[in-house]
Amino acid sequence: ELLSEDIVQLCLRRPQHFHWSPGQTAYLIMPSVSTLPFEAHPFTIASFDSSLLSTAKLEDQSESSENYETQVLASGAPFWKELVFLVNVHGGFTKKLKEVAAMKGQVKVFVDGPYGPSVLTTRLYLWQVSCLGGSGISYTLPVFLSVIGHGKSSCKWVVFIWSIRGADYVQWIEEALVKAVQLAPPSLTVSIHIFDTGSPSMSQSMEEDSSLSSPTEKKGTPKQVVTRKGSLTLSMLLSLRVVKMEKGRSDPDALLKEEINMASGSMSVSVCGSQGIACAVCHALRFPVSGPSSILSGGPSVTLYVESFGYT
């Protein structure tokens, strides 16, 4: 499915034997799309393996665990039941995949994986802060869904700081995000900060086209304006008191210092995005913000997780 001009959502029915953990990646092979028949391209799995709930349920037979599984699996949200990938469109393979998605075509996909370390250990931290850029939500959303799904999580506070280039980016994961916030246990505090760095004209056009789809042309090249009829509206997400959306760039220094000043105990800070975002977060956490002196004075013990991506 073509979510926007630069993002393709790829949904695959989960094979019965295939299991993964949040933060892991898989290599996708699409002979009908790639130049060579056995090209393998790595992408982060953006969905949560809901089959893990069965294991958790055996360990914890609480009524809340049963209610969670019933509500989530009945919702039909692909971010819980399927393999979902958010593919950032550039040249070569991803450009060809976009062309297939624009025609609403289907392709045969071979999945190799999963690979990479799991970030399930972040559930052991009392505070979780995530700094994301664009499709970096693929890395953090499954972690958030796993915190909601496992009743034995030690996490008490989850903070999202997501920088996007347009309001339509929120539609990628809006339904899953709203559902997760609604299912969050009372013991878990959720705070979501969304920063729209796109131009005002771009955001205005998104709002005007939110209910209809029509082709436009620029320099002779057809472009498709993509909308998702039947999905939850953006206003529903923004109506949640835990969600704040602002225009302009985020300030990692100020935001992270604010969270560290309020936190105590253990804290994980995860960053997924461009090298610029990763460097900004590392700079914000430099000594003495999260050093020994901060811990001795009652501050949190901060662990940094960096998932930076690039393009070839």
CA distances 190 to 39, 109, 130, 199, 284, Å, are: 40, 36, 12, 28, 22
CA distances 288 to 62, 239, 266, 295, Å, are: 43, 37, 16, 10
The percent of residues above 70 in pLDDT, for the chain, comes to: 74
**Which residue in 199, 130, 185 sits closest to 160, CA to CA?**
130
User: In the prediction, which pLDDT does 28 show?
Assistant: 94
pLDDT at 74 over 70: no
Q: Using one digit for the tens of pLDDT, what is the confidence trace for 186-228?
A: 888 889 999 988 755 444 443 444 333 333 333 444 344 344 4
**Which residue in 301, 300, 293 sits closest to 262, CA to CA?**
300
pLDDT at 75 over 70: no
Q: Using one digit for the tens of pLDDT, what is the confidence trace for 272-290?
A: 888 888 888 988 888 777 7
Average pLDDT over residues 141-146: 84
pTM for the model stands at 0.75
